[in-house]
């Protein structure tokens, strides 16, 4: 049976979605074979990895079972920066058909590479992503992820085509044109960042276009954290099902994991990406179901294998079977990264907690910003949030009422009181890609 599914030992192309249903033992067999091959490849071609293996007295032959993965050294983001631009490549440039880069927040970008086979695997996992969200041949997919060095645009583009959907490569931006095409081209599915879609929803309303009356039925969103509150807002306003998809440039781009119709965790395409959860402080693997940092090993990447890459994203693996019948494991939605936390009066705060608190109060809009400042050595946090025009046109009492409810909601979730600024719609800058939720002025002046 495996022979029919897999054209070669290291990950040839095969029918979309079949590996999602492999029995666990068959899946683990594939994973171990691929793990051994990818470790041998990285050892032979990537100096940094070979040196770290040698330091530990390890060789590719040390990997005899999947559990042995825990002996391998981690790879971290600074490894990509330190070897900028091409130091972690395992293929000669003549085999590399694509480069992407991610700017990150500071310093040099990180550069990632793909061989032709890598692009095929990427197209396949993205086709499986879209299939998981209920798309098929015949769907008209508006791809509003940014095209360019960002992996979102081209990743979704190739995956949509591999699935057999009709892809509209509109990229991000020009919101009025986006809405015109959704209507005029009978678009049935759209992908972009969730924050950009909240902007589209708002603009459609201003243009007097009711998205609920159009054929649009599915939204595929990712590249940034978003809460269930925002999901409910989007689903109600646009009359669609909104799915979460996850990925990162270092591993492949989008296509690492995707929700299914159950909307209860994201299935990881673990025949290509092997997940582990570790304690972010000690680096120790955590037992099934525990929350910690997601670590991923690419099982089939050729140009740039990543061994035990520390994503900084915090989640947990769901071990119970999914109602959709797939055997590949799921992870919970990423609510936070281990490096986006800040401390206010001794309390650890994550931006997604603020979003959850805001969205729990009726009358708020999913447009907000957190502003951090420092005074006398103390960090302070203010939250600026837009409220509906009705709230603003209401009496002063209406405004005061919503302010009190927001303060309460934040205090309940964060345990602290913060400065709240209620602002009119359109006050906060809209994003066409990843939203900037936190403005950090702590080191200014
Ligand atoms: O954002 C790849 C992508 C494109 C994923 C389109 C999904 C859709 P990077 O720019 O390298 O790659 O950023 C990766 O974004 O480590 C997470 O912190 C965050 N992220 C991505 N997807 C999600 C998600 C792309 N669904 C970083 N939920 C990751 C929460 C996400 N955070």
User: What does pLDDT average to over the chain?
Assistant: 93
210-229 pLDDT tens trace:
999 999 999 999 999 999 99
Which of 281, 309, 339 terminates a domain? The answer is 339
Final residue of a domain: which of 339, 364, 396? 339
| pLDDT number for residue 6 | 35
151 within a domain of the structure (yes/no): yes
5 pLDDT more than 60: no
In tens, the pLDDT along 281-319 reads: 999 999 989 999 999 999 999 999 999 999 999 999 998
Q: Is residue 262 part of a domain?
A: yes
Measured CA angle at 32 (ends 30, 37), to 5 deg: 95
Lowest mean pLDDT among 9-18, 311-320, 426-435: 9-18
| Region 96-114 average pLDDT | 88
285/414 same-domain check = no
Q: pLDDT over 70 for what percent of the chain?
A: 95
If asked whether residues 176 and 296 sit together in one domain, one would say yes
Sequence-ordered list of residues with C-beta below 8 angstroms from that of 4, at least 6 positions apart, any chain: none
CA angle 279, 329, 77 (to 5 degrees): 45
Atom of ligand 1 nearest to the CA of 245: 26
Q: What pLDDT does 395 receive?
A: 75
- Domain co-membership, 281 together with 405: no
**Separation of 285 CA from ligand 1 center, angstroms?**
23
- What percent of the chain lies above the pLDDT cut of 90? 88
Which of 339, 366, 384 delimits the end of a domain? 339
d(CA 186, CA 165) in angstroms, rounded, equals 13
Q: Are residues 302 and 388 in the same domain?
A: no
- Nearest-CA residue for ligand 1 atom 6 is 152
Residue 445 placed within a domain: no
| CATH code, 358 | 3.30.300.30
- The SS3 assignment for 78 reads helix
One domain, residues 422 and 306:
no
Clarify whether residues 333 and 353 are in a common domain.
Answer: no
DSSP 60: G
Quote the CA–CA distance of 208 and 326 in Å, as a whole number: 41
Cα 151 to ligand 1 centre (Å): 10
Mean per-residue pLDDT, 195-205 = 97
Domains contained in the chain, number: 2
Q: Do residue 230 and residue 106 come from a single domain?
A: yes
Q: Where are the beta strands (DSSP E) in 319-437?
A: 330-331, 336-337, 342-344, 347-349, 364-375, 378-387, 419-423
Asked if residue 171 and residue 37 are part of one domain, the reply reads yes
User: For position 433, what pLDDT does the model report?
Assistant: 94
**Domain ranges, residue 366:** 342-440
Same domain, 252 and 399: no
Q: Do 58 and 157 belong to one domain?
A: yes
Cα–Cα distance, 92 to 113 (Å, whole number): 11
Q: How far is CA 429 from CA 6, 45, 196, 387, 420, in A?
A: 48, 45, 11, 14, 18
Tell me the C-alpha distance between 383 and 406, whole Å. Answer: 10
Instruction: For residues 111 and 122, give the distance between their C-alpha atoms in angstroms, rounded to a whole number.
Output: 17
Q: Are residues 294 and 414 in the same domain?
A: no
CA distance 232 to 226: 11
For the segment 113-140, the average pLDDT, to the nearest whole number, is: 97
| Banded pLDDT at 404 (limits 50, 70, 90) | very high
Q: Is 259 in the pocket of ligand 1 (CB under 6 A)?
A: no
* 2 pLDDT above the threshold of 50: no
Supply the pLDDT for residue 393: 79
pLDDT at 445 over 80: no
Q: Are residue 297 and residue 412 in the same domain, yes or no?
A: no
């Amino acid at each position: 049976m495996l022979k029919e599914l897999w054209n070669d030992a290291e990950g040839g192309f095969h029918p979309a979605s079949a590996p999602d249903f492999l029995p666990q033992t068959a899946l683990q067999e594939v994973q171990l074979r691929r793990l051994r091959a990818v470790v041998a490849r990285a050892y032979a071609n990537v100096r940094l990895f070979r040196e770290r293996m040698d330091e530990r007295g390890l060789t590719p032959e040390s990997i005899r079972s999947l559990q042995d993965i825990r002996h391998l050294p981690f790879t971290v983001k600074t490894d990509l920066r330190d070897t900028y631009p091409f130091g972690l490549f395992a293929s000669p440039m003549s085999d590399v058909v694509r480069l992407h880069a991610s700017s990150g927040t500071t310093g040099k970008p990180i550069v990632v590479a793909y061989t032709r086979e890598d692009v095929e695997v990427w197209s396949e996992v993205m086709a499986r992503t879209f299939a998981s969200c209920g798309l098929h041949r015949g769907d008209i997919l508006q791809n509003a992820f940014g095209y360019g060095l960002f992996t979102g645009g081209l990743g979704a583009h190739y995956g949509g085509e591999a699935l057999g959907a009709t892809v509209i490569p509109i990229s991000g931006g020009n919101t009025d044109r986006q809405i015109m095409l959704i209507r005029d081209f009978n678009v049935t599915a759209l992908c972009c960042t969730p924050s950009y879609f909240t902007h589209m929803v708002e603009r459609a309303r201003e243009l007097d276009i009711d998205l609920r009356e159009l054929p649009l039925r599915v939204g595929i969103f990712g590249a940034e954290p978003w809460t269930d509150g925002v999901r409910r807002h989007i689903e109600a306003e646009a009359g669609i099902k909104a799915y979460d998809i996850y990925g990162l440039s270092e591993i492949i781009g989008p296509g690492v994991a995707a929700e299914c119709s159950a909307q209860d965790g994201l299935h990881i395409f673990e025949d290509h990406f092997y997940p582990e959860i570790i304690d972010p402080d000690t680096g120790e693997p955590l037992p099934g179901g525990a929350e910690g940092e997601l670590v991923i090993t690419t099982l089939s990447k050729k140009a740039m294998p990543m061994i035990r890459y520390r994503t900084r994203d915090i989640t947990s693996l769901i071990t119970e079977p999914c109602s959709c019948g797939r055997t590949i494991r799921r992870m919970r939605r990423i609510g936070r990264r281990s490096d986006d936390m800040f401390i206010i009066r001794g309390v650890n705060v994550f931006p997604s907690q603020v979003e959850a608190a805001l969205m729990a109060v009726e009358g708020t809009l999913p447009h907000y910003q957190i502003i951090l400042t420092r005074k006398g050595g103390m960090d302070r946090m203010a939250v600026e949030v837009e409220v509906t025009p009705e709230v603003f046109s209401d009496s002063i009492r209406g405004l005061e009422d919503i302010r009190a409810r927001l303060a309460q909601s934040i205090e309940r979730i964060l345990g602290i009181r913060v400065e709240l600024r209620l602002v009119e719609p359109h006050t906060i800058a809209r994003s066409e890609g990843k939203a900037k939720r936190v403005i950090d002025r702590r080191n200014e002046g």
